[in-house]
Amino acid sequence: MATSSGELSPESHFDKWEIQLRKGCLELAILGCLWPARLYGLEILRRLESDSDLVLSAGTVYPLLSRLKAEGLLKSEWVEADAGHPRKYYQLTPRGRSRAVEMAKMWARFSTNMKGLLSPVLKEGGK
């Protein structure tokens, strides 16, 4: 998708920008998933797909959960499930909950400001 001068085409640039945007909010999305209840890895993946439009591979999410746990934001426990095998459930630690609140507030503030800035663009661009 690069042009002959080596620059990215507008479509590639847009795709790259969208990927970067999604990457930036992945940690917040996971903390948000786990806010109401504990979940295991596959449930987190499905929740991200259905509620945030973030379609991720398991190979991305499991190491990320491991990192968040190592940073003390999550804790985990093995629970015997009806499925016939145990599942590793993750839940937020108090530190994870306060990080989630901080990040969510920042996100909301940023999003509100951007909405104000972009409303004329959306108004005129939507015509």
Q: Which residues sit at the interface with other proteins, rule CB under 8 A?
A: 19, 22-24, 26-27, 40-42, 56-60, 62-64, 66-67, 70-71, 78, 83-88
Q: How far is the CB of 121 from other proteins (least distance, A)?
A: 26
Which residue's CB is nearer to other proteins, number 42 or number 122?
42
Amino acid at the residue 116: G
User: In this complex, which beta carbon is closest to other proteins, that of residue 16 or of residue 115?
Assistant: 16
Closest distance of CB 13 from other proteins, Å: 17
- Mind giving me the DSSP string for 100-118? HHHHHHHHHHHHHHHHHHH
Least CB distance from residue 122 to other proteins, whole Å?
Answer: 26
Euclidean distance between CA atoms 115 and 122, whole angstroms: 9
Q: Kindly give, in sequence order, each residue whose CB lies less than 8 Å from that of residue 42, ignoring residues fewer than 6 positions away.
A: 58
Checking phi first, is residue 67 left (phi over 0); if not, alpha (psi -120 to 50) or beta? Answer: alpha
- Whose Cβ is closer to other proteins: residue 25's or residue 104's? 25
